Amino acid sequence: MSLLPVHRLRVADLADLPVLLDLWGSLFEDETGEEPWRVSARAWFASTVDDGATARLPVVEVGGVVVATAIGTLELGVPNPYCPRGRTVRLANVVTRPGHRGHGYGTLLVDDVIAWARRIEADRVDLSATPEGRRLYEKAGFALTRAPRMKLSL
C-alpha cells in the first residue's frame, strides 16, 4: 500500500504569483527571465486572482509548497445550439512539477475547474490537450470535436 503525500487543494492568491509564473514558464522549455509574457501574466494575475466570477486558479500544495496549478477562464460568446448561454470556460495551463506527477493532482485541478464552471453556469469547458495530457481529460469526460483548433498570432 503506497501512501500519497499530504496535499491541499486551494485557490491561488497574490502570494502565489512567483511560483505560478515559474510553473507556467515550465510549459515553455526555452522561455526564461522577464519576457513580455511574464510581465503581462503578472499584471493579469494581479487583476484577476480575486475575481471568482471570471477566473479560477486552483493550486495543489504539498508540505506548504505549490506543486501544481491550472487556470479556468470564462469566455462570453454568442449563444448557439452548442453553447445556449454563450458561456464557455477555457481550461488551460494544467501543470504539475515533474517530481510530483502521478499522484492525481492534475485530476484534482481539472475537477475543481469543472465544478467552478458548473457553479457559474457555463455551458461547457474547452481545452487544448497535449498527447501526454489527453488521457487525463478523457477520464474527466472530455471528447475530441470535429473542429480542429486554428490560431493566428498577432
Domains of the chain: 7-139 (3.40.630.30)
**Separation of alpha carbons 60 and 46, rounded Å:** 19
Q: How many angstroms separate the CA atoms of 17 and 38, rounded?
A: 10
Radius of gyration of the chain, Cα coordinates, nearest whole angstrom: 16
Q: What is the pTM of this model?
A: 0.90
- Where do we find the cell 489527453? 134
Instruction: Using pLDDT thresholds of 50, 70 and 90, give the confidence band for residue 32.
Output: low
- In this model, does residue 53 exceed pLDDT 80? yes
Q: How do residues 64-85 score in pLDDT, each as one tens digit?
A: 999 999 999 999 999 999 999 9
pLDDT digits (tens, 9 = 90+) for 107-121: 999 999 999 999 999
CA atoms within 13 A on the CB side of 8: 9
- On the question of pLDDT at 134 being above 60, the answer is yes
- Cβ proximity of 61 and 10 under 8 Å: yes
Angstrom distances, CA of residue 63 to CA of 67, 100, 104: 10, 12, 16
Highest mean pLDDT among 28-42, 63-77, 127-141: 63-77
